[in-house]
Amino acid sequence: MKRIAVLVAAMAMALSCAKAPEGQVKVTGGLVQGTVLEDMTIYKGIPFAAPPVGDLRWKAPQPVEAWDGVKDATQFGPGPLQGGRGNHSEDCLYLNVWTPAKSPKEKLPVLVWIYGGGFAGGDTADPSYDCEALARQGGIVLASINYRVGKFGFLAHPELSAENASGASGNWGLMDQIAGLEWIQKNIEKFGGDPSKVTIFGESAGGISVSMLCASPLAKGLFSGAISQSGGSFGPARPTTYPGENMKTLADAEADGVEIMKAAGASSLAEMRAMDASKFESRGLTPGGGWPIVDGYVIPDDQFVLYEKGQYNDVPVLIGYNSDEGASFSGGGTVEAHKASVELRYGPYAEALLAAYPVDGDKVGKTARDLMRDAAFGWQTWSWARLQSRTGKSKVFLYYFDQHPEYPEDSPRYGYASPHGQDVAYVFQHIGENAAQPESDKALSEIMGLYWTNFAKYGNPNGPQDLPEWPAFTEDDPKSMYLTGPRPFVGEVPGQAAMEVLDGYFQWRRSDEGKAWAK
């Protein structure tokens, strides 16, 4: 009997010391098996919350459901339901991890990607967001998170607000991002990541999300740094929204929700939740058309006001925008049409803004397009930099991405610079994949990847490599890093004089007169 007991104890000890199969990790919910490469292991489609379907539609993400056995984590999970083709589903709350770590003890810095798409589309399976090359270049862990978009991600309604203790509704997609970050805090160490060194980054709606997470008390402590590419959300709420003034109040968003329910032919929230998702599109309610709101809970207030008061998650930030964002949104058109749209949006400030951002003779040239660029991105980012450098303790690093050929005068691209989204391929190290790409593009991409991963490591883009020194932004010394190839350089904030005129408009919009006018 004694000998049997000894044998059983020895077998138990051997089993407890047995090494898990390569690429297999136990996370919240169960075991996952990733794809093992020579220098990296990749995990795709890991569930981080319960599927938000049925009675969980338009609810905060719930705990992930445990599974039996080993879940295959070699393929992306479905992206959020949206218009267009692709692998999209309401069951979409999955994330992905790329790790070069050989052991959980390595505790590498972590970068977490949040995709763009106007809060109406996007998913982590987009090849543009493949994180393998950047993880390899920086020697850090990369992760990316799916979140609900459109009407499934951002519907507010009085019934929805009433069923929540917070009294709010509408920011489901942001809560998905927060749930993903909570999962990362609990699990990333098992992939060799350091939960105390998590930096969030995103572009467009992803960059705006980063801005909102920096202002949300629900995200406090979930990240130690933030990178926003063409983001920021510092405009005041407005019933009729425009780029840079995209936010609505909870009351206005709830009123929209009432109309959406009517259009869907439903008389109650229960009917809306029971409705097949395909019915929304067949009744003219496309899955798109959503945006976060100032709900008083996830987003407590106008973000500009929160930052003025110092009420935000004070972490180092690296923030910027592209030189010709307006080319992607203003739509060109005639000078007359441009002036009419400026007068409609800016009212009594239109004349001053048309002077600050003049047209080019009979063309809506770049200086005119820059009004849209700055309203949507430039002023947002500059305001973020000014406010945080004034009220916070963490450093701010500002950039201006400007990489493009000098187009000849007879080219239809003459006078155009870097459009919205161009920077993404540079950050993710996808530029070098094209052998025909100019060497200056490849050089800039490599430098940007180092800046981004240095920031994840040190809270500062500067590092041991031979890189142009990037100074922190302060109101006394407002410098910007011009990201242009082959070698970036430091300069003044581009177009600051014009943005000061735009700043006057946004200040007026927050006055009683400006609020009344916007209604």
* Alpha-carbon span 150 to 298, nearest angstrom: 17
Beta pairing partners, 26: 31
By mean pLDDT, which of 38-47, 60-69, 272-281, 392-401 is the weakest? 272-281
Between CA 92 and CA 176, with CA 262 as vertex, the angle to 5 degrees is: 20
Q: Active site includes 278?
A: no
pTM for the predicted model, two decimal places: 0.94
Question: 340-354, pLDDT tens digit by residue?
Answer: 999 999 999 999 999
Specify burial of residue 455 (Cβ count, 10 A radius: 0-12, 13-18, 19+): buried
Going by pLDDT thresholds of 50, 70 and 90, the confidence category of residue 365 is: very high
Q: Residues 6 or more apart from 117 whose CB is under 8 A from it? A: 82, 149, 204, 205, 206
Question: So what's the pLDDT on residue 117?
Answer: 95
Q: Residues 6 or more apart from 316 whose CB is under 8 A from it? A: 224, 225, 226, 394, 395, 396, 397, 455, 459, 460
Of 144, 161, 169, 204, the active-site residue reads 204
Mean of per-residue pLDDT scores for the chain: 93
Other Cβ atoms less than 10 A from the Cβ of 281: the count is 13
398 φ/ψ angles, rounded to the nearest 5 degrees:
-105, 140
Of 420, 430, 445, 480, the active-site residue reads 420
* Alpha-carbon span 403 to 405, nearest angstrom: 7
Q: Active site includes 204?
A: yes
504 φ/ψ angles, rounded to the nearest 5 degrees:
-60, -40
Could you tell me how far CA 153 lies from the centroid of its own chain? 14
Of 157, 325, 383, 480, the active-site residue reads 325
Q: Is the model's pLDDT at 426 over the cut of 60?
A: yes
> If DSSP codes are grouped into helix, strand and coil, which group holds residue 220?
coil
> If DSSP codes are grouped into helix, strand and coil, which group holds residue 202?
strand
Question: 137-189, pLDDT tens digit by residue?
Answer: 999 999 999 999 999 999 999 999 999 999 999 999 999 999 999 999 999 99
What's the half-sphere exposure (Cβ side, CA atoms, 13 Å) at 357?
Answer: 30
Question: 80-91, pLDDT tens digit by residue?
Answer: 999 777 799 999
Question: 46-79, pLDDT tens digit by residue?
Answer: 999 999 999 999 999 999 999 999 999 999 999 9
* Alpha-carbon span 71 to 382, nearest angstrom: 45
* Alpha-carbon span 457 to 214, nearest angstrom: 19
Going by pLDDT thresholds of 50, 70 and 90, the confidence category of residue 19 is: low
